[in-house]
Structure 1
Amino acid sequence: MTVMTHTFIRAELISFSQDPGNENLPRPESLVHYADGLLWLEGQHIHAVGNFAELLPSLPEHAEILDYRDKLIMPGFIDTHVHYVQLDIMASYGRQLLDWLNDYTFPEECRFADHAHAEALSNAFLDEMLRAGTTTAQVFGSSHPNSVDAFFTACQKRNLRMLAGKVLMDRNAPQALLDGASGIADTERLIEDWHGRERLGYSVTPRFAPTSTKAQMDAAGALLRNDPSLWLQTHLAENSGELDWVAELFPGSRDYLAVYEQAGLVGPRSTFAHGIHLDDGMRQRLAERGASIAFCPSSNLFLGSGLFDRAAANDTGMSYSYATDIGAGTDLSGFGTLKSAYQVGQLLGQPLTAWQGFYGLTHGNAKALSLHRHIGQLAPSFEADLVVIDPRSTPLLARRIDHCSTLGERLFALMMLADDRSVFETWVAGRRLHQRDSS
């Protein structure tokens, strides 16, 4: 018989149960906020959450309470699109997308033929994610199946809820990265070994249309039809040169999205990174199929790819999420992603409120990944993935917080000024896996 461990944490608690809307104040029913709250964990899950004074009488006698009254706790951050295999090429100078792939990405990913290298990078990447307060991500490996074996093994040791997949790529790349006839067979083996194992899920992962033949994409679509519990991740309409290339490679398709539609890759568990250069018809088709765009603001700015139009997405009902897109992204931190998203919005006349931002990093991203019944909220029965935020982690942030008179102002200050130093602790499935002062 397993005896559940109980953990009691007193802190300010913030969580979103639904989209807060586009106004300066959130819809009242969307926000759960306890200025002096109690989080009661039972094993890997949340047992209860509420006002400290109200829950205190129901605690076991002599319960030990972690006193974090100077901290703020949210659900763990979620990253919907990131390449762990590109960690070491972050901040590589000065290329747009197609040059970036040829000059940096492809040479770097060749290194993942070595299992020891994949293992080392998996652990380094996950340590960085936890340092940033991110507890779940949808992750690209390389085209080498051992890159995913190594990554999932590292995730399993930490009991993380993670999605990942081996890149499918059988043309228009260095020979050392092409998977040819083995790509689908390797994917099937990885699905058998890892999909649904503990907290892990498999994302079928064609890199993007130019590097997969129609036959490979059709086979990827067959995998999804045979098992609707799988996820799909790829890239779409990131760069104008990319669009021209796709049009040359697929002259019979009416647009870039149609290439994926014809292969059966567009559905409610499909994430398409970027989606910058879309028209409203494409957005509506994505919305109708329940697919989602991963908005990667720091990467889009870094590569000069363009500005993602959140207003157009909202008008057409197209789902979108927030992502780092490391290694072209410039920050593993969710705070950094929101800061860049705000700046993109300002350039388009589409201000991003702190309510929208932190909803997006938590419940919104969980919903986009069809994980919203497990993670993304501080609520009973949800998995206990948490980020403990220190609002006074730097002198500048402390000064700004002292001048804030409302919760909205404090959250916005965090969105713009916080970084990994502001992550005091990160908890995964009820266990503390990162503590700032000990790492």
Structure 2
Amino acid sequence: MSFTNQEKFASADEAPRRWALRGDLLDFTAAPRWGDTESPAVRFDRDHWLLIEDGRIVGRQAQAPDDSWVRKDHAGQLVLPGFIDTHVHCPQLEVIASYGTELLDWLQRYTFPAERAFADPARSHAGAAVFLDALLASGTTAAVVFPTVHKVSAEALFTAAAARGMRLITGKVLMDRHAPDGLRDDVAQAERDCVDLIDRFHGQGRNAYAVTVRFAPTSTPEQLAMAGALCRADASLFMQTHVAENRAEVAWVAQLFPDARSYLDVYERVGLVHERAVLAHGIWLDAVDKSLLARRGAQVAHCPSSNLFLGSGLFDWPGAQEAGFPVSLASDVGGGTTLSLPRNMGDAYKVQALRGERLTAWVALHAATRGAAEALHLGGEMGSLSPGCMADLCVWDWAHGPVAEARDAVARELHERVFAWMTLADERNLAACYVAGRQQV
């Protein structure tokens, strides 16, 4: 890597106003079709320059820009939009790789004790900083994040994300039953906390608020109704929750909500299934559920690493495409075993292979970039290397280590090379990470 004009990016605050990055530019102009290894939706410009001004992409070209542009040379490296993780838990870094349980027991044994500590403001702020820096170190520049039930945990995430220029969607967790002491709220106080957080943070810079229902069993019908009322009052709000992750969980929901047709219907009845809804997992959905998601424009955040680790099941990605609802990619740490979305793409391939399907690198990459951005209605801001988008981007070594280098050396065409990268890459391949044009890694 080399610099010109004697200007280096010594810190994130010293990015020049106009600069250009050289590398192998890869993004998407549309959604690739399932199974296509050659796709017109793929835009690949080998050894091109990406032009960035005031934190936004303003162009891409083959020739080097003139000397009025500060130039940063990543020739021979892969340049992608920054990844968008659509479902991840900030307080669960400390319980990643915890042994031996399925979902419901895992929550009681590992997750809830870790989350209780975030009642302490100092712990929330320290945890948010470590978490967001870990995302950036994995090439993730935007995320939809679960904090804890504590208001301060959401405040800490919003504050830390703003300091880094990241797009962050979060909101305090709603949980007023079936949770231990120190992790329950009540409907009235939770509503006041949400309204205050919305007033202070939603739409401020790149922060956005998500009405955050932990999952149906941990909210009373009254709290679910309150959450739905918040969404109806402001259509710009997001909503995040879990749905149909585990068979025992689905059975529990059926016991708790006997009048609902399905787990998803619990949310639908109170107005939580809408175009800004992000529902994690969605493994055990039936045809009626899938049709509802498509009609409402809601997305499923597919969490392959977590699904494999907890033994939750195999997500039907082709069925989602056939039904017509969007699928984005997520790490779901700490149920997931890595924040690295390339490693989650590799796990997603394995999930589909177990179902007798083959996931292309194009579908996987699209779900972590442009596809996720469009599902969040933020396609004009992030997810691609198109003019007008924020310069959220990452530079990757095509191969790291002797095994990957040997594989990369014999790749015959673009999909083969990118698929090998997707399968073998992790955070060690990351050469640089930029958020709104400022270098963070």
The two structures share one fold, judged by TM-score above 0.5: yes
**1:10–1:67: 8 Å Cα contact kept in structure 2?**
yes
Deviations 1:229-280 (A, max 9, x none): 0000000001111111111111111111111011100000001100000111
- Aligned equivalent of 2:379, options 372, 379, 382: 372
- Per-residue CA distance 1:295-333 (angstroms, 9 max, x = gap): 100101111110001121112112211100010001100
Alpha-carbon distance in 2 for matches of 1:320, 1:36: 31
2:22 matches 1:16? no
CA distance in 2, matches of 1:23, 1:252: 40
Q: Give secondary structure in 1 for the equivalent of 2:31.
A: coil
Other-structure match for 2:268: 261
**CA contact 1:266–1:289 (8 Å) conserved in 2:** yes
Verify the 8 A CA contact 2:47 2:76 in the aligned structure 1: no
In 2, distance between residues paired with 1:333 and 1:213? 35
| Aligned-residue offset at 1:61 | 3.5
Contact 1:15 1:32 in 2 (8 A): yes
Structure 2 equivalent of residue 338 of structure 1: 345
Aligned to 2:409: 402
Q: CA deviation at 1:369?
A: 1.5
Query: How far does residue 62 in structure 1 lie from its aligned partner after superposition?
Result: 5.0
Q: Indicate conservation of the 8 Å contact 2:18/2:70, yes or no.
A: no
| Among 45, 57, 65, the residue aligned to 2:56 | 45
State the 1:69 CA deviation. Answer: 0.8
- In the TM superposition, residue 60 of structure 1 has moved relative to its aligned partner by 3.9
User: SS of the counterpart of 2:196?
Assistant: helix
Separation of aligned partners in 2, 1:62 and 1:106: 54
- Is 1:7 equivalent to 2:19 in the alignment? yes
TM alignment of 1:265-284, pairs within 5 A: 265-284=272-291
1:29-59 CA distances to partner (integer Å, 9 max, x unpaired)? x121111111000011001113x22xx3xx3
User: 1:395: how far off?
Assistant: 2.1
Aligned counterpart for 1:25 among listed residues 32, 37, 46: 37
User: With structure 1 as the length reference, what TM-score do the two structures score?
Assistant: 0.95
Residues in 1 aligned to 2:198 and 2:216: alpha-carbon distance in whole angstroms: 22
2:296 aligned to which of 289, 295, 302: 289
Residue 425 of structure 1 is matched in structure 2 by 432
Do the aligned partners of 1:394 and 1:422 also contact (CA within 8 Å) in 2? no
Q: Any idea what the Cα deviations from partners look like across 1:349-372, whole Å, max 9, x if unmatched? A: 111111111111110111121111
Alpha-carbon distance change, 26 to 200 in structure 1, aligned in 2, over 3 angstroms = farther
What SS does structure 2 have at the residue aligned with 1:177?
A: coil
User: SS of 2:369's equivalent?
Assistant: helix
- CA distance in 2: counterparts of 1:64 and 1:119, whole angstroms: 35
**Could you tell me how far 1:155 is from its partner in structure 2?**
0.6
Does structure 1 residue 193 correspond to structure 2 residue 200?
yes
Superposed counterparts of 1:172-187, under 5 Å: 172-180=178-186, 181-187=188-194
Identity of aligned residues (%): 46
Q: Which residue of 2 aligns with 1:85?
A: 91
Q: Which amino acid aligns with 2:22?
A: R
The whole-number CA distance in structure 2 between the counterparts of 1:25 and 1:253 is 41
Shift of 1:23: 3.1
Is the 8 Å Cα contact of residues 168 and 184 (structure 1) preserved in structure 2?
A: no
Deviation at 1:4, TM superposition (A): 7.6
Q: After TM superposition, list the pairs within 5 Å mapping 1:239-254 onto structure 2.
A: 239-254=246-261
Q: Secondary structure at the match of 2:182?
A: helix
Q: Counterpart of 1:175 in 2: which secondary structure?
A: coil
Q: State the partner residue of 2:4.
A: none
Where do residues 29-428 of structure 1 align in structure 2 (5 Å cutoff)? 30-50=41-61, 52-53=62-63, 56=64, 59-61=65-67, 63-180=69-186, 181-428=188-435
Classify the secondary structure of the residue corresponding to 1:350: coil
Contact 1:152/1:194 (8 A) holds in 2: yes
Instruction: Report the RMSD for the aligned CA atoms in angstroms.
Output: 1.2
Letter in 2 for 1:162: L
Measured after TM superposition, the shift of residue 432 of structure 1 is: 0.6
CA distance, structure 2, for counterparts of residue 230 and residue 46 of structure 1: 27
- Partners of 1:63 and 1:73 in 2: how far apart? 19
Contact kept, 8 Å, 2:191 with 2:226, in 1: the verdict is yes
Alpha-carbon offset, residue 161 of structure 1: 0.8
TM-score by length of 2: 0.95
Following superposition, which runs of at least 4 residues in structure 1 exceed 3 angstroms of deviation? 59-64
Say whether the 8 Å CA contact 2:88–2:330 is kept in structure 1.
yes
Is residue 280–residue 312 contact of structure 1 (8 Å, CA) maintained in 2? Answer: no
Structure 2 CA distance for aligned equivalents of residues 214 and 363 of structure 1: 35
CA distance in 1, matches of 2:285, 2:378: 26
- Residue equivalent to 1:437: none
Judge conservation of contact 1:138–1:164 (CA < 8 Å) in 2.
Answer: yes
Contact 1:20 1:31 in 2 (8 A): yes
Question: Following TM superposition, by how much is the alpha carbon of 1:394 offset from its aligned partner in structure 2, in angstroms?
Answer: 2.0
Distance 2:397 2:25 in 1: 12
Superposed CA offset, 1:364-396 (max 9, x none): 111121111110010111110001011132222
